[in-house]
């Protein structure tokens, strides 16, 4: 009798778990489809499309239960000068999941801006970087439920494509003392790879991070290390400064940048939702989440190594 109750409970639990996984997965794809839709017009900094993207992201942050990171607001507005010398306003967004230990922070980020449109051509930026942002929402949702050990701030910087302006402003104006920032996780282009490979970039600079996340078994993709050694191979091989993690790296904050090799649709109007690879993308989000959990559990040793530098 007991045994059959146990079996019954086991079946119910695994059914509800898999149902949860499926709904998380479809939400991930729905979020990406919205971010890459024509209504958002390529999410170029300073445009109506970018404002629509923010409206959507703020509603998702609230739904997930993220605490506003800047006083009572998710928004961090800033000004910057473009290469042409015009002054533009950008807006970062961030929300927080508090940890049990409130003295150390992990910043998880993914830029939401893209290239906008030229003439009738919209650059939807599904992989770059709708994918990173949809992944960030899924991770925020997961850790809001799991309750992390340390504070996690989920940041979507603006104006990455124009020169990493949003992340530059954020690291200079963190809503907590920057000494408490132990780790940055950046995601930029994580939804497609013909070789099914995801790179974890940055562990050359911070080997302890590799120790923590290597050795996991991933389903649906393989995790590669590299693209972070200076002066190795041809130009462009080192991705240590390729996206928003560059600004954290400059401040000697340990980082991992998760990303894939460029593809034929990179920075083209053909970077569409239809061309992403749903199975690879879903698998990668689970893998990054599991890695993030391990990093959170081992954050004090990451922080100790940081302080020694």
Contact positions vs Zn ion (CB under 5 A): 128-129, 188
E strand segments, 60-172: 67-68, 75-81, 87-97, 101-109, 117-118, 121-122, 150-156
Residue 201: enclosing H or E segment and its boundaries?
Answer: strand 197-201
| 19: CB partners within 8 A, 6+ apart | none
Least Cα distance to 140 among 150, 124, 152 occurs for 152
CB nearer to Zn ion: give 105 or 280.
280
CB nearer to Zn ion: give 43 or 60.
43
Cβ atoms 92, 8 nearer than 8 A: no
DSSP secondary structure, 220-281, as one string: SSEEEE-S--TT-SSTT---TTSSTHHHHHHTT--EEEEE----TTTTSTT--GGGS-HHHH
Distances (CA, A) of 102 to 111, 139, 155: 25, 19, 18
Cα separation of 61 and 152, whole Å? 13
CB nearer to Zn ion: give 128 or 296.
128
CB nearer to Zn ion: give 190 or 283.
190
Cβ atoms 196, 222 nearer than 8 A: yes
CB nearer to Zn ion: give 50 or 96.
50
Distances (CA, A) of 264 to 168, 171, 193, 247: 29, 32, 11, 27
Residue 111: enclosing H or E segment and its boundaries?
Answer: none
Cα separation of 292 and 304, whole Å? 18
CB nearer to Zn ion: give 104 or 136.
136
* Shortest distance in whole angstroms from residue 116 CB to Zn ion: 14
CB nearer to Zn ion: give 115 or 153.
115
Cα separation of 257 and 242, whole Å? 9
* Shortest distance in whole angstroms from residue 189 CB to Zn ion: 6
CB nearer to Zn ion: give 128 or 141.
128
| 4: CB partners within 8 A, 6+ apart | none
* Shortest distance in whole angstroms from residue 71 CB to Zn ion: 28
């Amino acid at each position: 009798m007991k045994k059959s109750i146990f079996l019954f409970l086991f079946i119910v639990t695994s059914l509800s778990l898999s149902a949860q996984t499926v709904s998380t997965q479809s939400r991930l794809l729905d979020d990406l489809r919205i971010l890459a839709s024509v209504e958002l017009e390529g999410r170029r900094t300073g445009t109506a499309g970018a404002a629509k993207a923010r409206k959507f992201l703020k509603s998702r942050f609230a739904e997930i239960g993220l605490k506003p990171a800047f006083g009572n607001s998710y928004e961090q507005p800033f000004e910057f000068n473009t290469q042409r010398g015009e002054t533009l306003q950008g807006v970062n967004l961030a929300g927080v999941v508090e940890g049990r230990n409130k003295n150390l922070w992990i910043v998880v980020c993914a830029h939401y801006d893209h290239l906008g449109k030229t003439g009738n051509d919209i650059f939807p930026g599904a992989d770059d970087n709708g994918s990173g942002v949809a992944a960030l929402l899924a991770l925020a949702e997961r850790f809001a439920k799991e309750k992390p050990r340390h504070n996690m701030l989920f940041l979507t910087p603006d104006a990455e494509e124009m020169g990493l302006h949003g992340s530059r402003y954020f690291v200079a104006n963190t809503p907590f003392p920057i000494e408490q920032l132990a780790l940055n996780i950046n995601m930029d282009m994580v939804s497609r790879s013909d070789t099914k490979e995801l790179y974890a970039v940055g562990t050359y600079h911070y080997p302890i991070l590799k120790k923590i996340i290597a050795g996991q078994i991933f389903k649906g993709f393989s995790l590669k290390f590299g693209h972070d050694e200076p002066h190795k191979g041809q130009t462009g091989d080192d991705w240590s400064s390729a996206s928003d993690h560059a600004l954290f790296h400059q401040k000697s904050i340990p980082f991992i940048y998760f990303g894939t090799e460029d593809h034929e649709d990179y920075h083209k109007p053909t970077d569409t939702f239809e061309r992403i690879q749903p199975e690879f993308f879903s698998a990668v989000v689970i893998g990054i989440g599991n890695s993030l959990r391990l990093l959170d559990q081992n954050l004090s040793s990451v922080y100790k190594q940081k302080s020694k530098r």
